[in-house]
Amino acid sequence: MDYFLNGLLSPSNTAIEQNMLRRLTLFQQLGRSAKVVLCAYSTSSAAYVQQHHLNDTVISCFDWLQEVATWQGKPLRRDDLTTLDNYQRTNVKEGYLYLAGTHLLARSKVNQHGEIMRVTYYDDAERQLEIDHYDSRGFLSCKQLFDVNQQLVGEHYLNPAGQLCLTITYAQKRPVLYHLVRRQQLFTTQQDFLQYCLGQMLPDADVVVAERREYDALLAKIACRLRVVRLYNAAYQADVAVADLFLARKAAQLTNAKMLLLDEYTAPVADLKGQWQKILNQN
């Protein structure tokens, strides 16, 4: 199985995601099994995946961790937030305000379909206390917690049953501890956290491609035959030991022996098939 590492998918996909999805089809035409692996948290990637019929070819680190890969729920709407039923509700742009007398208790944000995206809760001084993020599949997915100075101090990630799966602790606006509650694992960096997830999720990897720079370093510890970094608009300035091959768009980017020219932006599909077939056969 081949895997393409990226962050998230959305209607606002950049050329990076668009070319990755075209390559996914190209690999299938070459007779190879391939999947996209989403490494970033998103409450809406699942909706994009379902809309574009990508369920069989996209997997997600957070879906795996939050045990939602097979969850089939419906998006939540205003009346589903029953805990706020006893408070005065006022319509505002893109959502609702919830008041206890004159005190602002909560504010919800909905999308263009009226589906709940998040709810922000406030303390007695109307300082932001908590933001609850709702997955497009209809469950409370993440709680962000803030201190009295409005600084993020923690995130709690839940499964559809409401069980705590992951906590991330913040200090000085930076994540410092990842606790995988149901798997009894602790990590102090995002890289170690994601490497653990990928190590569990990709037991049969053959070729792995990092689509964005923030995921390049993850390649080093993935057990596979060929590790590939996909370059776009800049020469590679980091550790070349993380990958076996670097695919560049422009000749000016060819700065070391591991680099190969392959422009997925402009090359005809027939040419790309031939180039990829050669890469896969020779490496």
In tens, the pLDDT along 196-225 reads 999 999 989 999 999 999 999 999 999 999
Q: Where does the pLDDT of residue 69 fall: very low under 50, low under 70, confident under 90, or very high at 90 and above?
A: confident
Residue 279 three-state SS: helix
pLDDT of 31 strictly over 90: yes
Taking only the tens place, the pLDDT of each residue in 115-140 is 999 999 999 999 999 999 999 999 99
What pLDDT score was predicted for residue 235? 78
| CB environment 227-242: b (16+ within 10 A), e (fewer) | bbbbbbeeebeeeeeb
Burial of 49 (0-12, 13-18, 19+ CB in 10 A): buried
Q: Where does the pLDDT of residue 33 fall: very low under 50, low under 70, confident under 90, or very high at 90 and above?
A: very high
What pLDDT score was predicted for residue 41? 97
DSSP 8-state class, residue 182: G
pLDDT of 25 strictly over 80: yes
- End-to-end CA separation in angstroms for the chain: 15
Per the CB < 8 A criterion, the answer to whether 81 and 66 are in contact is no
The residue-averaged pLDDT of 174-193 equals 97
The residue-averaged pLDDT of 269-279 equals 91
What pLDDT score was predicted for residue 234? 78
What pLDDT score was predicted for residue 85? 85
Nearest Cα to Cα of residue 14 among 233, 250, 262: 233
Q: What is the mean pLDDT of the chain?
A: 93
What pLDDT score was predicted for residue 86? 85
